[in-house]
Amino acid sequence: ISLLRFLFFLLFQGDFTCDGVVLVRHHGAWGYVCNQEWTLAEASVVCRQLGCGPAVGAPKYVPLPGEMAQPWLHNVSCRGNESSLWECSLGSWSQSPCPHTWVVVALCSNGTFRELRLVKGRSPCAGLPEIRNVDSVDRLCGLHVEEAMVFCRELGCGPVLQAPRRDVGIVRKYLACRGTEPTIRNCRLDNNFRSGCDLQLDAEVVCSGHTEAQLVGGEHPCAGRLEVRRGLTWGTICDTDLDLATAHVVCRELQCGVAVSTPKGSRFGRGSGPVWTETFRCAGNESLLFHCPRGNGSQCGPGHDAGLRCSGEFRLVNGSSSCEGRVELQVQGSWAPLCATHWDIADATVLCHQLNCGSAVAAPRGGHFGDGDAAIWPDAFHCGGTEPYLWNCPVSTLGVPACAPGNSASAVCSGGCNQGCGGGG
């Protein structure tokens, strides 16, 4: 009697029996299935026979150096509806040599494979390629354009625009694709390199569907000309096409709070790239511009690039509540304390209102709530006290040295005065 099982395939580690190299037992010995053509039809029968759900992939396998690929069954052909591999056309039972690239693998829906994704990019269509399994994540190293083509296609992100170069060091590949596969699961699986990635070989994959935003030419990181990257190209949009909902999404994507204003007429200078005629129709609750619906935009001439000012992200830390403490602002994803030079009760009043913490009670001396670990941000605000956000106030950048160590700004708001407030402004 011939039996069927999986040999655990080490790219997908764990105690699972629903994906791996397909083995058959014949005359008391286990051996590989050797097929030049291996499709989802054959893999579906294997998964069905083993009670592993539908097949989701039918790749090939590259054994480890020196690993013996002992074949048993050659040239299996199935329709895909058989209940057992033994109902298929089995070809021949033989231990004759089998090319390593003909050793077959089946990936079933009940197996370890869960999803592929691009990470550490600014949209789901750009980043470093990973495969997520049931209990682990595998970073894929050394991909060429063929593998990137399949990644972009399977993610619904359009054609590949950027992939790791072929001549970057010693390439270590988990996958080898022709570029025509509909899914990464159908690429050849290479088990030679399973010890993790060399970070120097990490390279971003960018698909044509990638979209991200940046603000350029403003007086601070959360203001400027709105530029949108489509694929590899940065361009601008017409000022009449930027509504408040879309502006809020851009500010959120950039970790810059909420939209304060959308200056028109190329207030922050003209961009050097194209003016996109496709615009965004955001609802306002999206986390990324990438997720917003698209529509036809305006045709505008030079001098009409959209601008945007965001509120910026501010917080009060190291106090007894979130409404008192050291003033910090977020700059490109990192928090930095604000310099206390020129910081006064009017500035604190605006910040307290911005944080929904009531009115300012005090603006204590520099360093009152500690220094923080990051370098002090050198901008100084000159508020009148009635502005809705700090970035609505006039701003100046301090000279060199910008701020004495430990001279970080502080604020105490009425919303944080649970045990009485003190301190000077």
What are the tens digits of pLDDT across the range 182-225? 777 777 765 544 444 555 555 688 999 999 999 999 877 889 99
Superfamily for the 314-416 domain? SRCR-like domain (3.10.250.10)
259 CB-side CA count, 13 A: 19
Is 112 or 224 the better-scoring residue by pLDDT?
Answer: 224
Q: Given 3-state DSSP classes, what are the helix, strand and coil percentages for the chain, each rounded to the nearest 5?
A: 15, 35, 50
Mean pLDDT across the stretch 135-149? 74
Domain 113-207 part of CATH 3.10.250.10: yes
Residue 2 has pLDDT above 60, yes or no: no
Residue 294 has pLDDT above 80, yes or no: yes
Confidence bin at 1 (pLDDT 50/70/90): very low
**Same fold flag, 113-207 and 314-416:** yes
List Cβ neighbours of 280 (8 Å cut-off, separation of 6 or more): 237, 241, 246, 249, 289, 292, 293, 294, 295
Rg (CA), the chain: 29
Task: Say which CATH class 211-310 falls into.
Answer: alpha beta
**Tokens encoding 398:** 């301090």
Phi, psi of 280 (to 5 degrees): -110, 140
At 247, the amino acid letter reads A
Confidence bin at 324 (pLDDT 50/70/90): very high
Residue 253 has pLDDT above 70, yes or no: yes
Q: Would you call 93 exposed, middle or buried from its count of C-beta atoms within 10 A (0-12, 13-18, 19+)?
A: middle
* Residue with tokens 């040239």, as numbered in its chain: 75
Three-class SS string for 232-301? CEEEEEEHHHCCHHHHHHHHHHCCCCCEEECCCCCCCCCCCCCEECEEECCCCCCCCHHHCCEEECCCCC
Contact indicator for 113, 131 with CB cutoff of 8 Å: yes
Residue 138 has pLDDT above 70, yes or no: no
Residue-level pLDDT at 133: 65
Confidence bin at 413 (pLDDT 50/70/90): very high
**How many Å apart are CA 322 and CA 338, to the nearest integer?**
16
List Cβ neighbours of 234 (8 Å cut-off, separation of 6 or more): 214, 227, 228, 271, 273
At 140, the amino acid letter reads L
Mean pLDDT of the chain: 81
Confidence bin at 11 (pLDDT 50/70/90): very low
**How many Å apart are CA 146 and CA 350, to the nearest integer?**
54
Return the SS3 of 392: helix
Is 62 or 138 the better-scoring residue by pLDDT?
Answer: 138
pLDDT digits (tens, 9 = 90+) for 77-91: 999 999 988 899 988
Strands 71-74 and 29-34: parallel
Residue-level pLDDT at 210: 93
Task: Say which CATH class 3-108 falls into.
Answer: alpha beta
Contact indicator for 260, 388 with CB cutoff of 8 Å: yes
Strands 324-331 and 314-318: antiparallel
Residue 419 has pLDDT above 60, yes or no: no
In this structure, what DSSP letter does residue 169 have? S
Residue-level pLDDT at 178: 84
Residue 54 has pLDDT above 70, yes or no: yes
Residue-level pLDDT at 35: 87
Residue-level pLDDT at 301: 79
Residue 348 has pLDDT above 60, yes or no: yes
pLDDT digits (tens, 9 = 90+) for 353-379: 999 999 999 999 888 998 888 888 878
Residue 124 has pLDDT above 50, yes or no: yes
Task: Give me the residue spans of the domains in the chain.
Answer: 3-108, 113-207, 211-310, 314-416
Report the candidate in 28, 16, 21 with the shortest Cα–Cα distance to residue 5.
Answer: 21
Residue-level pLDDT at 114: 66
Is 389 or 418 the better-scoring residue by pLDDT?
Answer: 389
Mean pLDDT across the stretch 6-17? 40
Confidence bin at 247 (pLDDT 50/70/90): very high
For residue 24, the cross-strand partners are 4, 31
pLDDT digits (tens, 9 = 90+) for 391-412: 888 888 776 566 888 889 999 9
Contact indicator for 391, 224 with CB cutoff of 8 Å: no
Strands 205-207 and 188-190: unpaired
